[in-house]
Structure 1
Amino acid sequence: MEKGSIDVALKEAKDRGIRSLLCLRGDPTRGEETWLPTDARFQHGIDLVSYIRSQPEYTDFDIGVAAYPDGHPESDVNEQDEIEYLKAKVDAGASYIVTQLFYDVDGFIRWEKKVRDKGITVPIIPGIMPIQTYASFLRLTKLCGTRVPPSLMEDLVPIRHDDQKVKDYGVKLAIKMIQRLTTEAKVPGVHICTLNLEKSVQRVIEGLGWSGSSLKYTNKLIADVSGTATPTSHPELELVITPHNATDSATTQLAVGPATETEAGKGELNNAATWDDFPNGRFGDFKSPAYGVSNPWGTSNITRNQALSQWGYPKTVDDISKVFLRYLHSKSISTPFSPEPLSPESLLIIRHLERLINKGWWTVGSQPAIDGVNSSDEVVGWGPKGGYVYQKCFVEFFVENEDIDKIEKKVRERGQGWVDYFAGNLEGECRTNVSEGGRNAVTWGVFPGQEVAQSTIIEKESFLAWKEEAFSTWAEWASYYPPDSAERKILEDVRQRRWLVSIIHHDYKDPDALWTFLFNED
């Protein structure tokens, strides 16, 4: 932000009764490798702290700053130097510290002692993030440079395919960490990160005995404006919790969980209470904050240099096809649409995906048909043990304008009611044969002692949300190359001309049904 924008933000915050500010430098702009200041006067968090403290009208603000017990992921200085920088922020006027997430309590306690020995006396609020899924845990710890104790990984690896066990473990671990932090480190409170999945947080609060009248809390509603693959308008709830003996009338509602609403005619799948039961679903309920989370921070998590190294300099349609083929053959660890290495599940249908790409239909999402595989299966299993999982085959890909009419005609004349599709372009046009309000459950599981769980649902709303993100990804990819370059021109042309198609075959008992339909030219 420039100085004028900061002045406006400070005034509006004060006018609205906000009295506590967390002052951060921020992350690099999406797609950039390094952070560059918009205003040369604000290059570090300390610059913002110092500026606010220099303004007489803002003396009543409490100012928080960030700290990194495991080290800042971008820093190349040693721990003592980082603590010196932290002290400088406190000396500039910070009144409290909030840490980045960590899982090594012993490491935090050692770090805190060093901080106190440096003469820093303001409250330190540790950041606690309950583990929701094994995959998101790995992504976050890598993104944040978080140290993971070997004992934690030894516990997680054997249960990594059982979502419920991972969530239960995450709750118990958070409770254990907070108990140690409040008794051994005497921390004044904790900052619990929800990432829009609040059920585990509620369980942690209850497990600590902090629910009901013994809990005083502050909630901060933070709008998601990142424009990411999680296109929800739902606010993110963060809880800063300090155990008190004061009574807060709002805590009763928090302890039992807020009342939820359902949409008439849509049933339990749209009940907010089910949003974070199975966050591994590729789509899930489009109203769920867990929908489509590929990176919780909402960025592609790859720098421009990394992108150029992996995806090269495509100047033709054939060059773009080669980018997707390299990824399919594991010669590249990502594409602009797939930030992680190819899933083992995709190997079950790799020859079909390869055929689509060679046809010029670039695949960005897919799954094979699965008929009653054990939920503990290493490749396609999920959920509690002792269950069975099912999948309908679907695939998503980009095609040329002229291909859309052919696909629609084929579905209409040869689909025989077994095939549903959605297609959308940059201009906002959407075509489908799915009735208004129709929902396709394409992944579900049957487990002992519970109702059938539908973890992946494809419907118009979720498709349109993903479509917006997918076309913005083309724009981001194009931005890595100079204006008027051949690379930018071809990528922008693709964005203008192509359609995103999602096509589903409902015969999950025939693993080749969708592919026979797509490739049969008779």
Structure 2
Amino acid sequence: MRLSEKIDNLDSFTPFYTFEFFPPRTEQGFENLVSRIGRLSTLNPLAVSITWGAGGSTKDWSLKLADICRNDHSVDTIMHLTCTNMQPGMVEDALRTAMEKGIRNILALRGDPPRGADSWIPSDPRFTSATDLVKFIKTTPEFRDYFCIGVAGYPDGHAETTASEEEQIQYLKKKVDAGADFIITQLFYDPESFLTWQENVRKAGIKIPVIPGIMPIQTYASFMRLIKLCGTKVPDSLMAQITPIRNDDQLVKDLGVEVAVSMIRKLQQSGVQGFHFCTFNLEKSVQRVLEQLGWVGRHVEQHNMVISESPSRNNQPGSLPPELVITASDIAASTSYSLKQAHPGNGPNNSAGKGELNAAGTWDEFPNGRFGDFKSPAFGVKDLWDHGITALPRNAVELWGRPTHTADITTVFLRYLRGEVPSTPWSDSPLSPESKSLVPLLTKLNERGWWTVGSQPAVDAVPSEDEVHGWGPRGGYVFQKAFVEFFCTRDDVAALEARAKEKGKGWVTFFAANMMDDYATNMTDEGSNAVTWGVFPGKEINSPTIIERDSFLAWKDEAFGYWTEWGLFYPPDSAERKLLDSVRDERWLISLVHHNFKDPDGLWNFLLD
């Protein structure tokens, strides 16, 4: 059913909500997301939306997921559709496929610039903006009477433009005048600012439904990355709340629920009826928000449905709420929670890092980036739009210069370690305090031409309150094995493999691969490296960060992709582009772990002796 018609059929007192999902990176993640959507569909959203990768990069998965939502779970579906890199004919093909599957709602977006591009360049000259996409659908007889079209609104302003709010609202009005039926906004955290923006939208003559985007905070790291990418305004009061608890993901997650509930109640008091939840492919926070608002029961009555309790294998008896209980069976069921990482993605020379504890009662209730379980629907995700290098060309050249020899690349990594530049293509943040303790050792590796993109020191029973290594609830102890990842030559990999066999004494394991999927390891296919874990009062041992075959290979593809993106900042025939492309094609990525966490020097002696 068309979303605008469903909204019109509701009385003005009934709240409604939609859920947003994206196609996972792995087949196992896709299967688990389907199960998760099945559970969330019992909460009776008015619709679910499925994102669309730039240039149709997720086309097959997006359409398959939308089909499952619409036809297997009987949930009306909003399919995102972008103009970015959409070659002639792709838009029509996508719309026809959506029609075949009974999908009647489209969110029309221009899309972000392709990775590595400073500006947005259309692949199909008919589609230079979301307005063009709306016009095309509304003026094509085949599509105009079938699809209900949504467009995006930006209460805090679009991050890529310097246009005034008035100018941006006028552009929004062009999309509406072209035929848009509803608006879904970018996420925000200041309800007062949103209400002021919405009032100005109405004054501009825009009357269609405006559905605010709500994203419960999941982790401090993902929150900070998202607000940076979106240019989101964050009230000082919220930053004052989240900063002191940033190392305890469960407290951050609880705050995220509290903030979302408070925002929604404030907006509801001002007449806002519908809300769009960005789920991050996770389920518990959204479920908790709806339960605290008391909306689930109201939706049951409104639609004459009976909602059974969402299935969970963690409703164990005990004094703690179910979502805070972790049992031995939980750990046995999943060997790779995302426990902690400096960034919800890669983190060059930043440790697998500090601050992302998975203490929820579900097996993957935190954005778990590259260190999480590859079976998770949220595996490998840093943000909602799968951004790669976030720097623009003018900034990239200023930061990383014009490398024409491998020595120039070594200089980039050494400058990053010395704090002379705040980022590399593999990390958009400075070194973490934990990684700074490794700078002398990492410097020696990089001086050899072993360009490090991930590391952490060995830690043995450090209090969880420790400012450098600690994470998780107070009163606990944390442990971690030393590991390091770097780019090197094939000969280096062979030498390290031989050294691990001869000198590793069984303590050193590794995974290595190149761009062409050549692969080497001294582990079995089922083997995994548990590198981080914690023990906390009243809880089972919290599951470790894992580096295993599938997650390493998925990260490998991303890591080599950054060489391509870095090269795109330079002209096609330039010496810089040729160098970076050759490095991508010739180097290997290797990840080494030393399993004796009681020997802080073990890994480094192995590498540097």
How far off is 1:281 after superposition?
A: 7.1
Residue 174 of structure 1 aligns with an amino acid whose one-letter code is A
In the alignment, which of 367, 370, 389 is matched to residue 456 of structure 2?
Answer: 367
Aligned counterparts, 1:49-88, within 5 A: 49-58=134-143, 59-88=145-174
Q: Is the 8 A contact 1:418 1:506 kept in 2?
A: yes
Equivalences, count? 487
* 1:181 corresponds to 2:267: yes
In structure 1, the residue matched to 2:198 is 112
Q: Aligned-pair distance for 1:64?
A: 0.7
CA positional deviation for 1:40: 2.8
Give the TM-score normalised by the residue count of structure 2.
0.76
Partners of 2:105 and 2:366 in 1: CA distance = 34
User: How many angstroms does 1:280 deviate by?
Assistant: 5.8
Q: Which residue of 1 aligns with 2:41?
A: none
Amino acid at match of 2:333: G
Judging changes above 3 Å, is the alpha-carbon distance between structure 1 residues 296 and 326 closer, same or farther for their aligned structure 2 residues? farther
In structure 2, the partner of 1:231 is none
Distance 1:256 1:120, change over 3 A: farther
Please tell me the residue identity of whatever aligns with 1:31.
G
Equivalent of residue 344 in structure 1, options 433, 448, 455: 433
Give the Cα–Cα distance (whole angstroms) in 2 for the partners of residues 25 and 155 of structure 1: 35
Distance 2:312 2:103 in 1: 26
Task: Using the aligned pairs only, state the percent identity.
Answer: 54
Alignment of 1:8-47 (within 5 A): 8-47=93-132
User: Aligned partners of 1:34, 1:492: CA distance in 2, in Å?
Assistant: 22
Q: Do the aligned partners of 1:65 and 1:98 also contact (CA within 8 Å) in 2? A: yes
Q: How many Å apart are 1:343 and its aligned residue?
A: 1.5
Query: Which of 358, 372, 381 does residue 284 from structure 1 map onto?
Result: 372
Shift of 1:81: 2.0
Contact 1:97 1:122 in 2 (8 A): yes
* Contact 1:310–1:332 under 8 Å retained in 2: yes
1:112-131 equivalent positions in 2, closer than 5 A: 112-131=198-217
Shift in Å, 1:435: 2.4
Match of 2:470 in 1: 381
Q: CA deviation at 1:248?
A: 3.9
- Which residue of 1 is the match for residue 186 of structure 2? 100
Q: Residues 424 and 430 of structure 1 are in contact (CA less than 8 Å); yes or no, is this contact kept in structure 2?
A: yes
Q: Is the CA contact 1:281–1:455 (under 8 Å) kept in the aligned structure 2?
A: no
Distance (Å, rounded) in 2 between the aligned partners of 1:487 and 1:271: 39
Q: Which amino acid aligns with 1:111?
A: W
- Deviation per CA, 1:274-297: give whole Å up to 9, x if none: 443454676122222443444442
Comparing 409-418 with 281-290, greater Cα deviation is found at 281-290
Supply the AA of the counterpart residue of 1:245.
Answer: Q
Alpha carbons of structure 1 residues 11 and 113: separation in structure 2 relative to 1, 3 Å: same
Aligned CA distance change for structure 1 residues 205 and 310 (closer, same or farther; 3 Å) = same
Query: C-alpha root-mean-square deviation of aligned residues, in Å?
Result: 2.4
Matched, 1:215 2:299: yes
Matched residue SS, 2:429: coil
Q: Equivalents in 2 of 1:248, 1:171: separation in Å?
A: 25
Aligned to 2:253: 167
Change (3 A) 1:75 1:167: same
Q: Distance in 2 between matches of 1:163 and 1:385?
A: 12
Cα distance per residue 1:333-380 (max 9 Å; x no partner): 111222221111111111110000011111110001111112122222
Aligned match of 1:228? none
SS at match of 2:434: helix
Gapped runs of 5+ residues in structure 2?
Answer: 1-85, 316-328, 339-360
Residue 267 of structure 1 corresponds to 333
Q: Which residue of 1 aligns with 2:560?
A: 471
Cα gap change, 1:330/1:290 in structure 2, threshold over 3 Å: closer, same or farther?
Answer: farther
1:299 to 360, 383, 387: 387
Change (3 A) 1:295 1:330: farther
Contact 2:314 2:362 in 1 (8 A): no
Shift of 1:70: 1.1
Normalising by structure 1, we get a TM-score of 0.88
Q: 1:37-90: per-residue Cα shift (whole Å, max 9, x none)? A: 223332221111112111223213111111111111122222222222222221
- In the TM superposition, 1:115-514 aligns within 5 A as 115-182=201-268, 184-211=269-296, 214-215=298-299, 245-248=302-305, 251-252=307-308, 255-256=310-311, 267-269=333-335, 274-279=362-367, 283-300=371-388, 301-514=390-603
